[in-house]
């Protein structure tokens, strides 16, 4: 029987042995012929479930129809209308859980490769200088956006579209949040991030880098100077296991390891003046996407043996299937059913090993995954030169402690109502700051929704 839609057009990738020697993109992208052939497989379903599953409701079906006709400009404009950063989302969104996951062709493992189509048309627009044109009817009110991650970017773009005078305050010396400092260049090339962000200033937003709100500019000052505020400060504070030896040198949080590698370009040392200690044997504790990013960076930094240390099994690993597969292809070793007890160091305070328990799986816990149970007396020592804890992050207290009027949850995330407005009048929040660790596309959706709420709030005040 002929399969509807046929097989997915395979994406060429750098071979594992080659790619672990560089930080260039792993997927090589579709050619024009390939992108059209992939788009032609779309059966243009009447109800387009892919669009309903997209957190920003991109008009995916229409975008694909234009690609089939070779109208890449039109396809790009359709994507850009709802998604401020399509070249980024096309590369990093978990499409298999969203648009692609509900595509009827996914039942045979051949869902339309929506992410790669989106990335293609956005790259094509960048290479051909095609931009979205819209007429801004300027308004006098000023709005401040705190944080330039995906939530801040999408909120700022939409606020400009409504005509507000927007200033984005970013703590770091580069804009983009996790897109810039967390996700490595081999998954998300930095020229793409820079290009997508340059759009912010092109449409007239004022981007103030090196401005930590709560430190070199106060929140109250923003409240005096701006008619409304959006908080998109993310969740950048790392969580730790709380085990003995955690302060040893050579033991990092995933955030610090990725920050040094990506934002501070440690992989280009000594061209860039950022040291990173990454020995021959490195253990990464955790099995989410961030852990895979750390493990894959470590390989590229020259580590010989890279281990993912996880208390459950591969089957329960929270990482996307594609990320896990890429890591394994590259030679990362996955150690299942182990849990650290303590880190061991030498007389100079450098980590040399980690002691772990063996674990077994029990009944499902609240997350629905089998509970990992410690096997008493199973301790063993594993020699390692570097250890990285990748256990998730939470919102930074620095900003929150300076703004006690903001209500927070027990996880430290900011409380908002259904329109994403906080308890403080005219102040909205979104992205990881309200969700904890989430995704780029959810942050974009929040930014968009918050911009609409701020717009309605400012209209009501007139």
Binding residues for ligand FAD (CB under 6 A): 92-94, 146-152, 169-172, 177-178, 182-183, 211-214, 232-234, 236, 258, 289-290, 293, 396, 399, 431-433, 438-441, 443
Query: Following DSSP, what letter does each residue of 346-367 receive, concatenated?
Result: -TTSBEEEEEEEEEEEEEE-TT
- CB nearer to ligand SF4: give 60 or 144: 60
Separation between Cα atoms, residue 351 and residue 439, nearest integer Å: 33
Q: With b meaning 16 or more CB within 10 Å and e meaning fewer, what string describes 91-100? A: bbbbbeebbb
| 335 DSSP β-pair partners | 309
Could you say whether residue 43 binds ligand SF4 (CB under 6 A)? yes
Judge whether 88 and 118 are in contact, CB under 8 Å.
Answer: no
Q: With b meaning 16 or more CB within 10 Å and e meaning fewer, what string describes 69-87? A: eeebebbbbbbbbbbbbbb
Instruction: In angstroms, give the least distance from the CB of 374 to ligand FAD.
Output: 28
What does the CA dihedral 379, 384, 386, 391 come to, rounded to 10 degrees? -30
Partner whose binding site includes residue 258, from ligand SF4, ligand FAD, none (CB under 5 to 8 Å by kind): ligand FAD
- CB nearer to ligand FAD: give 78 or 440: 440
Instruction: In angstroms, give the least distance from the CB of 41 to ligand FAD.
Output: 24
Partner whose binding site includes residue 45, from ligand FAD, ligand SF4, none (CB under 5 to 8 Å by kind): ligand SF4
- CB nearer to ligand SF4: give 46 or 140: 46
- CB nearer to ligand SF4: give 6 or 204: 6
Instruction: In angstroms, give the least distance from the CB of 369 to ligand SF4.
Output: 29
- CB nearer to ligand FAD: give 131 or 394: 394
Residues with Cβ within 8 Å of 184's Cβ and at least 6 positions away in sequence, in order, are 23, 258, 261, 262, 293, 296, 297
- CB nearer to ligand SF4: give 45 or 217: 45
Could you say whether residue 49 binds ligand SF4 (CB under 6 A)? yes
Q: In this structure, how many other beta carbons lie within 10 angstroms of the beta carbon of residue 132?
A: 15
Tell me the CA end-to-end span of the chain in Å, nearest whole number: 64
Partner whose binding site includes residue 438, from ligand SF4, ligand FAD, none (CB under 5 to 8 Å by kind): ligand FAD
Could you say whether residue 16 binds ligand SF4 (CB under 6 A)? no
Binding stretches for ligand SF4 (CB under 6 A): 42-45, 48-50, 60-61, 64, 103-105, 112, 114
């Amino acid at each position: 029987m002929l399969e509807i839609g046929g097989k997915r057009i395979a994406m060429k990738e750098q071979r594992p042995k080659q790619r672990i020697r560089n930080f260039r993109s792993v997927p090589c992208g579709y050619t024009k012929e390939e992108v059209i052939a992939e788009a032609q497989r779309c059966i243009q379903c009447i109800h387009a479930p892919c669009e309903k599953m997209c957190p920003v409701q991109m008009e995916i079906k229409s975008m694909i129809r234009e690609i089939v006709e070779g109208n890449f400009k039109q396809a790009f404009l359709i994507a850009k209308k709802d998604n401020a950063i399509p070249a980024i989302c096309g590369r990093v969104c978990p499409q298999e859980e969203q648009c692609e996951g509900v595509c009827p062709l996914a039942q045979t493992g051949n869902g339309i490769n929506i992410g790669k189509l989106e990335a293609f048309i956005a790259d094509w627009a960048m290479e051909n200088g095609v931009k979205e044109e819209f007429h801004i009817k300027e308004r006098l009110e000023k709005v401040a956006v705190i944080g330039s991650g995906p939530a801040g970017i999408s909120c700022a773009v939409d606020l400009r579209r409504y005509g507000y005078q927007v200033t984005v305050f970013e703590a770091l010396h580069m804009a983009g949040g996790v897109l810039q400092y967390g996700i490595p260049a081999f998954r998300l090339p930095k020229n793409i991030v820079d290009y997508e962000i340059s759009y912010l200033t092109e449409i007239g937003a004022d981007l103030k880098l090196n401005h930590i709100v709560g430190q070199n500019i106060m929140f109250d000052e923003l409240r005096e100077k701006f008619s409304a505020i959006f908080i998109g400060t993310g969740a950048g504070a790392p969580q730790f296991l709380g085990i003995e030896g955690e302060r040893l040198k050579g033991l990092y949080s995933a955030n610090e390891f990725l920050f040094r590698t990506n934002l501070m370009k440690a992989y280009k040392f000594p061209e860039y003046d950022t040291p990173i200690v990454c020995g021959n044997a490195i253990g990464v504790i955790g099995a989410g996407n961030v852990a895979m990013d750390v493990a894959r960076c470590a390989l590229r930094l020259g580590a010989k043996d890279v281990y993912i240390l996880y208390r459950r099994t591969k089957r329960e690993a929270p990482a996307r299937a594609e990320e896990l597969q890429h890591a394994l292809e590259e030679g990362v070793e996955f150690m299942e059913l182990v849990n650290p007890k303590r880190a061991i160091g030498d007389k100079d305070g450098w980590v040399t090993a980690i002691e772990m328990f063996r674990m077994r799986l029990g009944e499902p816990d609240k997350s629905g995954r089998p509970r990992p149970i410690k096997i008493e007396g199973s301790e063993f020592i594993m020699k390692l030169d570097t250890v990285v804890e990748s256990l998730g992050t939470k919102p930074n207290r620095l900003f929150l402690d300076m703004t006690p009027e903001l209500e927070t949850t027990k996880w430290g995330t900011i409380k908002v109502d259904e329109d994403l407005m906080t308890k403080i009048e005219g102040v909205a929040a979104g992205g990881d700051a309200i969700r904890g660790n989430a995704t780029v596309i959810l942050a974009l959706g929040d930014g968009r929704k918050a911009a609409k709420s701020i717009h309605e709030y400012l209209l009501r005040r007139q």
